[in-house]
A and B are shown apart, each in its own frame.
Chain A
Amino acid sequence: MREVAIVGIGQTPVGEHWDTSLRMLAAEAVRAALQDAGVKTADALYVGCGFSAPFSSQLHLGALVADFAGLRGIEAYSVEAADASGGAALRTGFLAVASGAVETALVLGVEKATDTVGSARIQARNTSLDADFEAAHGATQSALAALLMRRYMHEYGLELSAFEGFSINAHANGSRNPNAMFRNLIKPGSFARAPMVADPINLFDGAPDADGAAAVVLTTVERAADMVPQPVRLTASAVATDSLTLHDRPDLLILRAAQQSAARAYAQAGIEPNAVSLFELHDEYTILAALSLEAAGFAERGQGWKLAQDGAIGLQGSIPISTFGGLKARGNPIGATGIYQAVEACLQLRGQAGDNQVSGARTALIQNLGGLGATAITHILQA
């Protein structure tokens, strides 16, 4: 296997892009990444998108985006793993370059969620649940997250306010990110009073569905050195799966796939959790942030929530998370999220994160979850 590096990054602002089509968002991110890498094209384009069929009545994104971005003719197709589609596309690009099959790969994450609203959007997102055993009973992603969170609170004797630190941190970081959907701060105390979505999940807990596109250019470490001044090495890429349904897991309060993919990633990169400078985790709900911290080895079982209490997850903390706002404040452009995580990690490792910079960042862990951890895709990026 050849060593792989990221040599170009691009992103659109995350938000409600009612005046911009899916292909426009995609092409904008692709052009930005190519320009950043100083190249005109790539050998292949892998598109991560979770829900373009129900949201945009559009599949076949590989050919669509390649053509619209001026790359007609190149290898291009999409990769789907629900919310983890971006991470899955990054994995595909990594494999393509590492194997020697392609020299330069473009990896795009794109989603156009906000043209669909209300119950129709929930219905669209429900296509990633178990249709027969969850969605047929009126389950939603938020409701399932709520089942997980209530059980966690029950077993560890916690109040809702135990989780507010995650949202406060995400919004504090998002407020300094020009590409973030939400740039307002959440005041301590207001979290627990927010309107409920599916109790105990409320509006200040769940991440907002959003539109956005982000892209990276991958090539070999060897070629990267001649292309750009600051290539970022992709030193681990690992995917694991768990049962699609929550109810089939022997222990609900362990994200087994997240744990497994993180362990595989640490082994590939040859590092321990204490070498990680920042962790872009899948904070679609605060409970996922807590469980992801536990799964990746930053907290013992049942202790993940505590890291949000004492500033450990802040930019100056021992394990900074959601450094550009995470899914909660940057916004959740669902299938694109995994690539936003990669772009943000690159900005940190290049020292280009501006007001969001984690000082001395050398190693970034990024983890993209599909559903409530049925798919977990972990990458490690190093300066």
Chain B
Amino acid sequence: MSELRKQVEIQAEQFAFAGTGEVYSFTTVLQAPENFEEQAPYTLALIKLDEGPMITAQLTDLDGPVAIGDRVEMVTRKLTTEGPRGMIVYGYKFRKILPRSS
């Protein structure tokens, strides 16, 4: 690895998140871009991770309304397929953490 690349990598330090957080804001996307039309309507959210940083991701496995402050956890899902014969793109989405049934 080149010296300059190392400097860039050092600025972006590796850190493992727990994958949990809460909904900071959300919207239902009705007018979607290409490769997302068949998913619409879908829920996009800002997730405030428990460690502090925020990320943009879809909410998945929803079977009821969403509210700001809902607790969520990360799951791996298909994000899209790049065209009818294209590559399948996997990535992170979030789902609500359900109360434990005992």
Which of A33-41, A74-82, A92-100, A242-250 lines the interface with chain B? A242-250
- Inter-subunit contact A137/B30 (CB<8 Å): no
Question: What separation, in Å, do the CA atoms of A144 and B24 have in the docked complex?
Answer: 12
User: Which of B29, B31, B33, B93 has the largest count of A CB atoms less than 10 A from its CB?
Assistant: B33
Which single member of A123, A137, A154 contacts B57 (CB below 8 Å)?
A137
How many residues belonging to A are interface residues under a CB distance threshold of 8 Å?
Answer: 33
- A247-B56 contact, Cβ under 8 Å, with A196-B28, A198-B28: yes
Contacts of B53 in A (CB 8 A): 247-248
- A138-B55 contact, Cβ under 8 Å, with A147-B46, A150-B27: no
Q: Does A142 contact B (CB under 8 A)?
A: yes
Contacts of A120 in B (CB 8 A): 34
Which of A42-50, A128-136, A221-229, A267-275 lines the interface with chain B? A128-136
Question: What separation, in Å, do the CA atoms of A133 and B79 have in the docked complex?
Answer: 12
Q: Does B20 contact A (CB under 8 A)?
A: no
Q: Does A151 contact B (CB under 8 A)?
A: yes
- A198-B30 contact, Cβ under 8 Å, with A138-B42, A143-B44, A246-B46: yes
- Inter-subunit contact B27/A143 (CB<8 Å): yes
Minimum CB distance partner of B69 in chain A = A154
Proximity string of chain A (112-153) to chain B, C-beta cutoff 8 Å, 1 when within and 0 when not:
000000011011001000000111111110111011101100
Within 8 A of A (CB), among B47-102: 53-58, 68, 79-80, 89, 91, 93
- Inter-subunit contact A147/B33 (CB<8 Å): no
Contacts of A59 in B (CB 8 A): none
The range of chain B's interface size is: 20 to 34
Question: What separation, in Å, do the CA atoms of A247 and B89 have in the docked complex?
Answer: 22
- A139-B44 contact, Cβ under 8 Å, with A126-B33, A147-B25, A198-B28: yes
- Inter-subunit contact A248/B54 (CB<8 Å): yes
DSSP class of B's interface residues: helix, strand, loop or mixed?
Answer: strand
Q: 3 tightest CB-CB pairs across the interface, nearest first? A: A146-B27, A247-B54, A123-B34
Q: Does A53 contact B (CB under 8 A)?
A: no
Question: What separation, in Å, do the CA atoms of A257 and B18 have in the docked complex?
Answer: 32
Minimum CB distance partner of A142 in chain B = B31
Question: What separation, in Å, do the CA atoms of A289 and B42 have in the docked complex?
Answer: 27
- Inter-subunit contact A138/B29 (CB<8 Å): yes
Question: What separation, in Å, do the CA atoms of A126 and B36 have in the docked complex?
Answer: 12
Contacts of B30 in A (CB 8 A): 196-199
Proximity string of chain A (161-202) to chain B, C-beta cutoff 8 Å, 1 when within and 0 when not:
000000000000000000000000000000000001111110
User: How many whole Å from B25's CB to the nearest CB in chain A?
Assistant: 4
Contacts of A147 in B (CB 8 A): 25-27, 44-46, 56
Contacts of A136 in B (CB 8 A): 79-80, 89, 91
Contacts of A246 in B (CB 8 A): 46, 56
A/B interface sample: 17 pairs, CB < 8 A: A119-B33, A119-B36, A119-B37, A122-B33, A123-B35, A133-B56, A138-B29, A138-B36, A139-B29, A142-B29, A147-B25, A147-B44, A196-B30, A200-B27, A246-B56, A247-B54, A252-B46
- A137-B32 contact, Cβ under 8 Å, with A143-B27, A147-B46, A198-B27: no
6 additional A-B residue pairs with CB within 8 Å, beyond A136-B79, A196-B28: A119-B31, A138-B39, A138-B80, A140-B31, A200-B27, A247-B53
